Structure 1
Amino acid sequence: MLRQQVRAVSSLLSTMTLIGLCVGMTSTLLSLRGTIEGFSTFTIGLIMSAYFIGFLFGTTRAPKDIRRVGYIRAFGGLAALASVAVLVQSIWIDPVVWFVMRFISGFALSAMFVIAESWLNTMADNRNRGALLSVYLVLIYGGLIVGQLILGLADPTGFVPFAIIALLINLSLIPILASVTVEPTTHSPKKVPLRLLIEQAPLGLFAAFLAQGCYAMFYGVGPVYATTIGLTVGQVTIFMAAFIFGGLLAQTPVGFLSDRYDRRLVLAGVTFTGAIVAIGLSQLATDNPLWLYIGMGLLGGCLLPIYSLAMAHTNDYLEKDQMIGATGAIIKVGGVGAIVGAPLGAALMQFAALNMFFILMAVFALMIAAYSVYRVTQRAKAPDQVHSPLTNLAPAQVSEELLASLVEEANEDFEEPEGSIPVKPGSNAPV
C-alpha cells in the first residue's frame, strides 16, 4: 500500500527532494563565499539569520496569500523568486543585498513547503500518512546531505554553484506543475495561546527555542568555523553532511526510546551526551579531519532529535483539539531561537574564541538537560504519551502543515474533513 502511495506522489517527492538539495547547498555556499569575500563572522551570522526571519514571516503570511492566487500559481511564482534571490547574490556581493535576498529566500521556500506538504497531505489518508511523511522527511534529509556533497565539487568563488542552485530550483517546478491533483482546501485550527503552553509544557518551548538556535548556528556559521580551522571546500561539505547524516541515523532509536520511557529523561540524556561531544570537539585537534567528521556525526545524532522530542513532549500534555494550534506556536518560538542563534554564535566566535562555536552548543544542550531533569522533579510523567511513528524524525525546514499532520497521525480517532488541510489564517522549513 505504501509503495503504491509513494508512486502516486513520486512527482511531488521528486520536487521536494530537489528543493531540499538546494537548501542544503545554499547556506553552506553563502557562508563559504562570505568568508572568501572578507565578510566578518558576525556579518555572516546576521546574513544567515535573515533566512529564518523570512522563513518565519513566510509561514505566517503565505497561506493567506496562497488562498488568493491558488496553489499552482503561487508555487511557480515563489520558485522564481527563490531562484532570482540566489542569482542576485552571485552578481551583487554586498552584505546588505545578501541580507535582503536571504530574507526573500526564506520567505519563498517556506511558502513552497506549505504548498507541497498540503498536496502530500491531500494525497494521503489516515492509514498511511505517517509512513508517507516519513519517506518525505527522509528524502528531504537526503537532499540536504547530497547538496552539501555536490557543493564540494564546485568552486565557491565562481558563478557556477549559484547557477546550479537556480537551475535545480527551476527544474523542481516541472514535476509539481505537471501534477493533476486537485488543489487542497483549507480550514482554521483552534488557536492556542502561548501562555497556555508555558503553563502546560514549558520544557517543550524552552527546548524548541534553544534547539533551533543550535541548528541556525550550525547551518549559518558552521562552514565559517570549518574554513577557519583550515578545511578545504570539499572537507567543509563533508563536515556539514556528517552532522545531518548522524542526525538521520539517530532518529529511529531516539524515537523508539521516547515512546517507551519518560520523554523528559530521553531529552536530558541526548542533550547531556551532545554537550559532552560538543566540548570534546571544541578541544579536538584538526590535523585529522576523520575524527572531526565522526564527532560531527555524533553531535548531529544527539542534537537533531531535540526539536521533535520537544514537540512530542508538548503534545503529551495537551488536548487533541489543541495540538494543531500548539504546533504553530512552537514553530514561532523555535523560529525566534533560530533568528538569535546564528548572530550570537558568530559574535562569540569573532570577539571571544573560535571554539565558542562548539562551546555555545554545549551550553545550550546542558541548559536543556538541566531543565528537563528539573521538570521531572516538578511533574509526573504524562499518563499516555503520544505514540507517533514520526516522533523519531528531527525537523527539516518544514511548514506547520506537516507538523500538524504528524500530530493528527498520532491520534487515530482525530478525524479531519476529507481533503482538508489545516492552515492557520494569516499565517517554519532546513537550513
Structure 2
Amino acid sequence: MLKQQLRAISSLLSSITLIGICVGMTSTLLSLRATIENFGTLTTGIIMSAYFIGFLFGATRAPKDIRRVGYIRAFGGLAALAAASILIQAIWVEPTVWFIMRFITGFAISAIFVIVESWLNTMADNKNRGTLLSIYLVLIYAGLIAGQLLLGVADPSGFMAFALVALLINLALIPILISVTVEPTTHEAKKVPIRSLLKLVPLGIVNAFIMQACYSMFYGIGPMYAIYIGLSITQVSLFMASFIFGGMVAQAPIGLLSDRFDRRVIMSVCAGLGSVMALILAQLDASIIWLIYLCVALFGACVMPLYSLGMAHTNDYLEKDQMIGATGAIIKVGGIGSIIGAPAVAALMQFGAVDYFFLLIMSLTLTVCLYSLYRVTRRARAEDQIGSSYAMLGPAQTSDELLTSLVDEYEYQVEQYTEEQEAAENNSDDTPKSGSPS
C-alpha cells in the first residue's frame, strides 16, 4: 500500500525536492550577494525579513485564491512568479527592488507548500500519514542541503547562480503538471485564538516566537557572519549545510525521547546544549574550519528540533479538534518572530556587534532553556502526553488546513466583535427609556 502511494506521489515529491533546493540556495545566495554589493548588515536583515512577511501574507490570503483557481494551476502560476522574482533580483541589484521581490518569493513559496502538503494529506491515510510526511520532510531537508552545496560551485557575484535557481523552479513545474490525481479538499477546523493559547500553553507560544527568530537570524545573517570570520564562498555553503544536516539527523531521535519523557525537560536540555554550542562557535574563526563544521552541525542538531518539540508540547494540552487551529496560531506567532529576528540581529551587528552574532543567538536559546525549566515547576506534565505525539516539522510547515486556520482566526475576531456589538445594542433596546413605563 505504501509503495503504491509513494509511486502515486513520486512526481509531487520530485517537485518539492527541487523547490527545497531553491529555498536552501536562495537565502544564502542573497545574503552573500548583499555582502558583495555592500548593502550593509541592517539593510540585508530587512531584505531577508521580507521573505517572512510575504510568507505570512501568503499564508493568510493564498488558501482562498487556491480554492478559487484550483491547486494545479495555482502551483504553476506561483512557481512562475517565484522564478521571475529571483531573476529580477539578478537584473536589478537594488535594496528596494530586492525587498519587494523577496516578499513575492515568500508569498509564492508559502502557497506552494500549501498545495504540496494538502496533496500529501489527501493521498495518505491514518496508517501511513506519519511515514509519508517524514519522507517529505527528509526530502525537504535534503533539498536545503543540496542547495547550499550547489551554491559552493556557483559564483554569487554573477548572474549564473540566480539563473540556476530560476531554472530549478521551472523544472519543478514539470513533474506536478504532468501528474494525474485528485485535487485535495479542505475541512473545517476549530478556531483557537492566540491569546487563549498564551494562557493555556505559554511555553508553546514563547518557544515558537524565539526559535523562529533564531532560525531567521541564522539563515539571513549567518552567511554574512561566516564571511566576516574569514570563510570562503565554498566554506560558507558547507557551514550552512552542516547546520541543516545536524538538524535533519537529530529530529527523529530527539522526537522519540520527547515522547517518553517530559517534553519540557527535553526542550530545556536541547536549548541549553544549543547555548553551549553557540558560545563555542562565538570563539572560533576560519583557522579551525573542521571544528566550525562540527560545532555548527551540533548546534543545528540541538536547536532545529525545538520548534517541533514546542508544537508537540502545545498539542499535549489541547483537545483533538483544537490542534489544527492551534498549530495555525503558533505558525503565525513564529512568523512574527521570523520577521523580527533577522533585522534585529542585523541592527545590532551594524553598530559593531558582529563578533556577538552567536552570543545573541545564545541569549535567546538560553531564554528557552530557562523558561522551559520554569514551566516544569509551574505545571504537571501532560498525562502520558496523549494529546499528540512528536512530529517533525520542516522549515515551512504550512499545510492548507493549518494556513486556513490563520484566516479563520481573523474571521473569529470579527465574529466576536460583531456579537459583542449586537449584544450591546440588544441591551440598549431592552433598557427602559426615561419617562416610559417600566
TM-score w.r.t. the length of structure 1 is: 0.92
Amino acid at match of 2:142: G
The aligned residue for residue 127 of structure 1 is: 127
Kindly indicate whether the alpha-carbon contact (under 8 Å) linking 2:215 and 2:338 is maintained by their aligned counterparts in 1: yes
2:79 corresponds to 1:98: no
Give, in whole Å, the separation in 1 of the partners of 2:312 and 2:141.
20
Q: Report the Cα distance in structure 2 between the residues aligned to 1:386 and 1:92, rounded to whole angstroms.
A: 53
How far the C-alpha of 1:284 sits from its partner, in A, is 1.8
Retained in 2: the 8 A contact 1:328–1:400?
no
The answer to which of 267-276 and 341-350 deviates more is 341-350
1:164 counterpart residue number: 164
Query: For the Cα contact (< 8 Å) 2:118–2:399, is it kept in 1?
Result: no
Q: 2:405 aligns to what?
A: 424
Greater helix share, structure number: 2
Letter in 2 for 1:247: G
Per-residue deviation, 1:226: 0.7
d(CA) in 1 for partners of 2:147, 2:391: 23
Q: How is 1:68-79 mapped onto 2 (pairs within 5 angstroms)?
A: 68-79=68-79
CA–CA distance in structure 1, aligned partners of residues 22 and 105 of structure 2: 11
Give how far 1:355 is off.
2.5
Q: Tell me the residue number matched to 2:394.
A: 395
Output the amino acid matched with 1:355.
D
Asked whether the 8 Å contact 1:15–1:172 carries over to 2, the reply is yes
Query: Is 2:285 aligned against 1:302?
Result: no
Offset at residue 392 of structure 1 (A): 5.1
The aligned runs of 1:315-354 (5 Å cut-off) are 315-354=315-354
CA contact (8 A) 1:63 1:424 kept: no
Q: Which has the higher contact order (CA 8 A, sep 6+)?
A: 1
1:281 alignment partner in structure 2: 281
Q: What's the CA shift string for 1:44-66, capped at 9, x where partnerless? A: 11000000000011011100111
What is the letter of the counterpart of residue 397 of structure 1?
A: A
Mapped to 1, the partners of 2:353 and 2:291 lie a distance apart of 21
| Partner of residue 413, structure 1 | none
CA distance in 1, matches of 2:96, 2:179: 38
Alpha carbons of 1:386 and 1:237: their partners in 2 closer, same or farther (altered >3 Å)? Answer: farther
What is the Cα deviation at residue 188 of structure 1?
A: 2.4
Aligned to 1:407: none
5 Å-filtered alignment, 1:24-423, equals: 24-386=24-386, 391=390, 393-401=392-400, 423=404
What is the one-letter code of the residue matched to 2:122? T
The one-letter amino acid of 2:146's match is V
SS at match of 2:186: strand
Contact 1:312 1:386 in 2 (8 A): no
Please give the alpha-carbon distance, in whole angstroms, between the structure 1 residues aligned to 2:130 and 2:32: 37
Distance 1:285 1:159, change over 3 A: closer
Asked if the contact 1:248–1:301 (Cα under 8 Å) also holds between the matched residues in 2, the reply is yes
**Separation in 2, partners of 1:29, 1:398:** 22
Residue by residue, what CA displacement relative to the aligned partner does 1:177-218 show, whole Å, maximum 9, x if unpaired? Answer: 111111112232111011210111000000010000000011
| 1:418 match | none
Distance 1:392 1:299, change over 3 A: farther
Over the aligned positions, Cα root-mean-square deviation in angstroms equals 1.4
1:45-97 residue CA offsets vs partner (Å, 9 max, x unmatched): 10000000000110111001111111111111101100000000000000000
Is the contact between residue 331 and residue 400 of structure 1 (CA under 8 Å) also seen in structure 2?
A: no
Give the fraction of aligned pairs with identical amino acids, expressed as a percent: 63
Q: Helix, strand or coil: the match of 1:110?
A: helix
Counterpart of 1:398 in structure 2: which amino acid? Answer: Q
Counterpart of 1:204 in 2: which secondary structure?
helix
Q: CA deviation at 1:249?
A: 1.0
The 8 Å contact of residues 47 and 102 in structure 1, kept in 2 or not, is answered as yes
Q: Report deviation, 1:149.
A: 0.1
How many residues matched? 408
Equivalence for 2:418: none
Q: How big is the shift at 1:272?
A: 0.5
Cα offset for 1:394?
4.3
Counterpart in the other structure of 2:435 = none
Q: Is the 8 A contact 1:49 1:338 kept in 2?
A: yes
Tell me: CA distance 1:58–1:363, structure 2 relative to 1, closer, same or farther (3 Å). same
Question: CA–CA distance in 2 between the matches of 1:379 and 1:387?
Answer: 16
> Is the Cα contact below 8 Å between 1:187 and 1:424 reproduced in 2?
no
The offset of 1:425, in angstroms, is 7.4
Secondary structure of 1:248's partner?
helix
Indicate if the aligned counterparts of 1:55 and 1:109 stay in contact, CA closer than 8 A.
yes
Amino acid at match of 1:261: F
Matched to 2:92, the amino acid is W
Q: Is the Cα–Cα contact under 8 Å of residues 63 and 425 in structure 1 kept in the other structure?
A: no
Question: Following the alignment from structure 2 to structure 1, what is the Cα–Cα distance between the partners of residues 138 and 187?
Answer: 28
Bigger radius of gyration among the two: 2
- 2-side partners of 1:425 and 1:55: how far apart? 12
SS in 1 for 2:268: helix
1:247 and 1:365 mapped to 2: Cα distance?
15
Does the 8 Å CA contact 1:188/1:425 hold for their aligned counterparts?
no
